[in-house]
Amino acid sequence: MLTLKQITEQTDKVIAGLNKKHFNGAKEAIEQVINLDKTRRAAQKQKDALAAEMNKLSKQIGAYFKEGNKEAAEAAKAQTADLKENIRQLDEQMTNAEQQIHDLLLTIPNIPYDLVPEGTGAEDNLVVKMGGEQTKLPENPLPHWELAKKYDLIDFDLGVKITGAGFPVYKGKGAKLQRALINFFLDRAQEAGYREIMPPTVVNAASGYGTGQLPDKEGQMYHCEVDDLYLIPTAEVPVTNIYRDVILDEAQLPIKNCAYTECFRREAGSYGKDVRGLNRLHEFSKVEIVRIDTPEHSQQSHDEMLAHVESLLVALELPYRILRLCGGDMSFTAAICYDFEVYSEAQQRWLEVSSVSNFDTYQANRLKCRYRTDEDKQIRLCHTLNGSALALPRIVAALLENNQTERGIHIPAALQPYTGFEWID
C-alpha cells in the first residue's frame, strides 16, 4: 500500500497517479486519509502527554509505598481515575483512526511511474519492441487444441472428468514437454544468478495481504475454508512473503530468487475463445523470478529482468512483442509493468506469456520488507519486483502451433537437450 508519507507529502502527485490508473474517487479517498491522519496525530499528542503524566504519578505512588507514606500514596491514587479515563478515550480515538486509515489504504492501488502511458485498457498499451520471426505454416494450420489431440499430448476432456474445465491432463511427450520447459526455465534463471526456491503452494491470509492479492482479488483465489488457506495464483506470493517483516542489509541486495510452482486461478468471469485450449487455465505451471532491491537500483533490476525474459523467448525461437502497459491496464499493485506476448500463428492472436513488474515500495510497505542502508544505517522500504519467466501453457500453445509441419511438430534446438526428442510425431 501507499505510505502515509507519500500521501501527506506528495498529495497532488498521488491523486494524479491514481487518476492515471483510473481509480474512481481518488481525490475523496486521499482527502479522507489525510483528515483521519490529522485526527490520529492530534489524539496521539494528547494521549502521549497524559500517559507521561500517568507514568510519573505511578512511579510516585510506588515511591510513597516504599517509604511507608500511605496517605500520600492514596491521595495520588485518587488523581489517576480521570487521567485513566481520558487516556482510554484518546487511545480509542487513535486506534479507531488508525484502523480506518489502514482499511482505506488497502483499497487504494499503487501509483504509476511517469513512463507509464495514459490509457484505460489493452488498446492503449505501448508496443516497445517486436522480436522473433513468424514461421511459414503448412496449409490449414491447426490450433494447439487440435494438435494436442492429434498427437495425444494433452487431454482436456480427461481433466474435466477428474477435476473440471481448465485442468488439463498432459500425457506422454506432452507431459515431458512440460517438464523440459520447467527445467529449461529454471536452469536459465540459475545461470542469470537467481536462487531456486521451492515454496508451499498454499498460503495463509497474511501472505495474501502481503503481496496485495487480498483484499483486491479475493474471489480469484481458491480458498480452503476449513483451514482458511489459499492456493497460490503465482509463486510471487510465497516467494515475496519470505521477506515479510524482515529488515535486510543493503549489502544483501538485490536479492534474486526464482521458483517453479503450479499456479491456481479461479478466473471467475472468463469466457469464450479466451479460454479455449491452453489459453486460460485454472491450474498451470510457471517459473517466476522475484527480486528485492534498493530504490536506487530497482530500475536497473527491472531492465535485467526484461532482458532475461526476452532471452528465453529468443531461445525458444518464438515471435514476440513487448508492451509497456498503460495506467488503466496495470495490476493493482504495479508501478510499472511490461507484458510479453507471443504470436500464436494458428489462432492469429497474441498471447500473454509474461508480466514483469516493479512494485516500487507498494508491496514492501504491506510486507514491512525493509533494509538498513550501508551509509547511515537508516531503515528504508525495499522495492519488490517480479516477473514470469515463463508461464507454460501459452508457450506450449505457441510452440505447438508455430512449429507444426507436415512431418510433425519440431522442438526448438535450445529445448531438445531437455525433451530428449526433436520431433513430436
138 CB neighbour count, 10 Å cutoff = 10
- Do the bridges between strand 369-372 and strand 246-249 make them parallel or antiparallel, or are there none, so unpaired? parallel
One-letter identity of residue 411: I
Q: How far apart are CA 242 and CA 247, in angstroms?
A: 12
- Cis peptide bond prior to 254, omega within 30° of 0: yes
H or E segment at 261?
strand 255-264
CB 113 within 8 A of CB 16: no
Which residue's CB is nearer to RNA, number 42 or number 275?
42
160 binds RNA (CB under 7 A): no
Asked whether position 313 contacts RNA by CB under 7 A, the answer is no
Nearer to RNA, 53 or 155 (CB): 53
Q: How far is CA 408 from the centre of its chain?
A: 38
**In the complex, least distance from residue 241 CB atom to RNA, rounded to whole angstroms:** 15
**How many Å separate Cα 332 from the centre of its chain?**
9
Quick note: the x/- pattern for RNA over 78-97, rule CB under 7 A, is: --xx--x-------------
**Alpha helices of 120-279 — where are they, by DSSP H?**
144-150, 156-162, 173-191, 205-211, 236-241
CB-wise, 55 or 405, nearer to RNA?
55
Q: How many residues does the chain have?
A: 425
Residue 72 or 142 with smaller CB distance to RNA: 72
- Binding segment toward RNA, per CB under 7 A, in 38-46, 132-140, 158-166, 187-195: 38-46
Tell me which stretch binds RNA (CB under 7 A): 59-67, 100-108, 169-177, 259-267. Answer: 59-67
Contact 112, 332 (CB under 8 A): no
Name the one range near RNA by CB under 7 A: 12-20, 58-66, 101-109, 304-312.
Answer: 58-66
Tell me whether strands 229-231 and 202-204 are parallel, antiparallel or unpaired. Answer: antiparallel
102 lines the binding site for RNA (CB under 7 A): no
Q: Which is nearer to RNA, 73 or 137 (CB)?
A: 73
**Of these, 16, 34, 57, 137, which contacts RNA (CB under 7 A)?**
57
CB nearer to RNA: pick between 32 and 135? 32
Is residue 115 part of the contact set for RNA (CB under 7 A)?
A: no
Q: Does 413 bind RNA (CB under 7 A)?
A: no
* 54 interacts with RNA by CB under 7 A: yes
Q: Does 224 bind RNA (CB under 7 A)?
A: no
Show the binding pattern over residues 366-405: x = contacts RNA (CB under 7 A), - = does not: ----x--------x--------------------------
Q: Can you read off the three cell numbers belonging to residue 206?
A: 497474511
Chain centroid to Cα 407, Å, comes to: 42
Query: Binder to RNA among 77, 161, 195, 349 (CB under 7 A)?
Result: 77
DSSP string across 90-158 = HHHHHHHHHHHHHHHHHTSPPPPPTTSPP-SSGGG-EEEEEES-PPPPPSSPPPHHHHHHHTT-EEHHH
Measured CA to CA, the distance from residue 314 to residue 21 in angstroms comes to 32
Residue ranges in 243-272 that form contacts with RNA under rule CB under 7 A: 247
CB of 72 to RNA, least distance (A): 12
Residue closer to RNA by CB (options 100, 135) is: 100
Residues contributing to the site for RNA (CB under 7 A): 4, 41, 44-45, 47-49, 51-52, 54-55, 57-59, 61-62, 65, 77, 80-81, 84, 247, 370, 379
